[in-house]
């Protein structure tokens, strides 16, 4: 189905603009992504619902809405829109099944969260668990920084660390106090890597649950950015 929309006042366009808000995303269980790369990833994942385009896309089996450049600028979250905005269904959350799990305990900066998700795919951490106080994965800055990782990962919102521990996962938390060096961390088949909040680190209840606390040895500066520390830990533990 292809349909042309000419007016910025069109009701559907107004609804799409509102998808920039968390409330509208929750209500409709959909979110929007920008550009061709994200469109391709959304299509492959089976989550694509409909697209708004400047030019028709051949052989596409979801509804297409042809819009003007003016409307495209209105619905796009990018400063320089590529000419395609894709509306996607939110992914269903599955049970954790990957041997390497990433647990994010209050990661609040959208750029950090998106970058961490992108890196998680790269190192095969295909299940990601988010604590309640993380920022939303559907935030547009998160989606941008994640480079479509969200379409590949199983991301769950559920504090199931105790359950994972019972199921044989070892819990590794990044924390300086009482820690062992990342380089000396035992290579284990089933584990959860926990990254903490930018300012406060991993929270106390989770530190108590952890089997090991791990640190990255660094010089002359207080700490690493959480996305950087997480990436180095994922790289090393996935070796």
CB of 143 to its own copies, least distance (A): 14
Q: Where along the sequence are the contacts to its own copies (CB under 8 A)?
A: 111, 115, 118-119, 121-124, 145, 147-149, 152, 183, 216, 218-225, 227-228, 231-232, 235-236, 239
According to DSSP, the residues that pair with 152 across neighbouring strands are none
Which lies closer to its own copies via its Cβ, residue 77 or residue 112?
A: 112
Which lies closer to its own copies via its Cβ, residue 2 or residue 122?
A: 122
CB of 37 to its own copies, least distance (A): 8
Instruction: Name the token pair of 159.
Output: 């504090």
What span, in angstroms and rounded, lies between the C-alpha atoms of 45 and 89?
A: 10
CB of 154 to its own copies, least distance (A): 13
Which lies closer to its own copies via its Cβ, residue 121 or residue 164?
A: 121
* Contacting residues for 84 by C-beta, under 8 A, at least 6 apart: 34, 35, 36, 39, 51, 52, 53, 54, 57
CB of 71 to its own copies, least distance (A): 27
Which lies closer to its own copies via its Cβ, residue 64 or residue 119?
A: 119
What span, in angstroms and rounded, lies between the C-alpha atoms of 216 and 64?
A: 49
- List the Cα angle 94/100/101 in 5-degree steps: 50
Which lies closer to its own copies via its Cβ, residue 1 or residue 221?
A: 221
Instruction: Name the token pair of 92.
Output: 């269903």
What span, in angstroms and rounded, lies between the C-alpha atoms of 63 and 57?
A: 10
- DSSP H helical ranges for 69-174: 69-75, 110-122, 140-146, 161-166
CB of 197 to its own copies, least distance (A): 16
């Amino acid at each position: 189905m292809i349909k042309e929309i000419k007016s910025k006042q069109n009701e559907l366009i107004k609804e799409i603009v509102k998808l920039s808000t968390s409330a509208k995303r929750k209500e409709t269980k959909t979110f929007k992504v920008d550009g061709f790369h994200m469109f391709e990833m959304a299509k492959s994942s089976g989550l694509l619902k409909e697209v708004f385009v400047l030019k028709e896309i051949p052989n596409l089996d979801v509804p297409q809405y042809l819009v003007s450049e003016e409307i495209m600028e209105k619905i796009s979250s990018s400063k320089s829109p590529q000419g395609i905005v894709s509306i996607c269904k939110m992914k269903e959350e599955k049970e954790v099944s990957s041997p390497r799990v990433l647990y994010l305990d209050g990661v609040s900066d959208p750029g950090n969260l998106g970058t961490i998700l992108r890196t998680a795919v790269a190192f095969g951490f295909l299940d990601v668990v988010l604590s309640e106080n993380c920022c939303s994965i559907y935030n547009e800055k998160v989606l941008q920084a994640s480079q479509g990782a969200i379409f590949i990962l199983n991301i769950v919102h559920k504090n199931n660390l105790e359950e994972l521990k019972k199921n044989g996962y070892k819990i590794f938390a990044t924390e300086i106090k009482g820690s062992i060096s990342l380089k000396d961390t035992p290579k284990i088949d089933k584990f959860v890597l926990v990254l903490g909040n930018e300012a406060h680190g991993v929270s106390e209840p989770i530190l108590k649950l952890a089997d090991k606390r791990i640190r990255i040895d660094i010089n002359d500066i207080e700490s690493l950015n959480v996305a950087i520390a997480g990436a180095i830990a994922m790289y090393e533990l996935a070796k």
